[in-house]
Amino acid sequence: MAIGALRPIETIGFTGLGVMGEPMCGHLARRSGKRVLAYDLRSEPLARLATDGVIPMPLDAIGRDCDLILFSLPDGKAVASVVAALEQHLSPGQCVVDTSTSSVPLTREIGARLDQHGIGFADAPVARTREAAARGELSIMVGATEAVFQHVRPVLETMGTDITHCGPIGCGQVCKVLNNMLVFQHTSALAEAIAIGRRHGVPPEMLLPILAKGSGDSFVLRSHGMKSMLPRDFPERAFSTRYAIKDLSYALEMAAESRLAVPGAELTMQRLKASDQAGNGEKYHPAVLKLIDPE
């Protein structure tokens, strides 16, 4: 699709105002200079965002009236449902951006379907923490044509500090899913180190700062390790164990399609599922520590 075929962005729609979506929509409203409409099943985030000028609107109206529509949804099933509800109201020249983490095949199928109707599409999953979302400092990985990427980039820059064009549609999801796969595996490995260290006389409050000074240092150690695993604080309304299982399933799906053996990722999945069964499904996913290093 040529860039000239896309509408100028004057009105933006946002669907899905959860842990990440609500602050993203707030930044969009405050920084873009555009009219922002939003839809969510819950009234509370809509009420909070009203102070930023965000206008609550039904999904069908967002489909009809917005030049650009963004999603931040829990999973591929929700994405497919929202796209199905919107499609009958969309028209050529609009553009849709999915900031959720979803499966690569679904993403590419949606992109191809919308393209047939003259509608631009980008997958733009976000990385980093909910604190980064609150600061507007997300990393956003974009799969799109060059034209669509340039069209939506200024909007994405209101929510993130690192906006990367990863390749055609689906490539943003590939990068995000593999990023998360590494985070989950690293978290599991960190739990093993904590368990071994504690049993050999080095408590976690000593071990982690020492590791942070060596070649074992990492973002996961400093964020997931020091902020969550060290105090053994695994709140809800963070990136939950069930979300981790969902995202890792997409990585395993890609591995199976490529006929690649990935025993490290498979072991991590087994541990996440066991953590879920142990009652940690809604807790922040580093709660896998409780499984590997029970008190």
Per residue in 97-118, pLDDT (tens digit) is 999 999 999 999 999 999 999 9
Alpha helices, DSSP H, located in 17-170: 21-31, 43-49, 59-65, 76-87, 104-115, 130-135, 146-156
| 175-292 fold | N-(1-d-carboxylethyl)-l-norvaline Dehydrogenase; domain 2 (1.10.1040)
CA separation, residue 134 to residues 39, 92, 118, 180 (Å): 19, 33, 34, 20
Non-local CB neighbours of 54 within 8 Å, separated by 6+ positions: 14, 25, 26, 29, 36, 37, 38, 46
pLDDT band at 2 (very low <50, low <70, confident <90, very high): very low
Mean pLDDT of the chain: 96
pLDDT at position 191, please? 98
Can you identify the CATH homologous superfamily of domain 3-168? NAD(P)-binding Rossmann-like Domain (3.40.50.720)
pLDDT band at 1 (very low <50, low <70, confident <90, very high): very low
pLDDT at position 295, please? 82
> The whole model's pTM is what?
0.94
The region of weakest confidence among 9-13, 214-218, 234-238, 251-255 is 234-238
Task: Classify residue 215 by its DSSP letter.
Answer: T
In the chain, pLDDT over 90 holds for what percent of residues? 97
β-sheet bridge partners, residue 141: 164
**Residue ranges per structural domain of the chain:** 3-168, 175-292
pLDDT at position 186, please? 98
pLDDT at position 75, please? 94
Q: How far apart are CA 192 and CA 106, in angstroms?
A: 35
Give the Cα-Cα-Cα angle 76, 80, 84 (nearest 5 degrees): 170
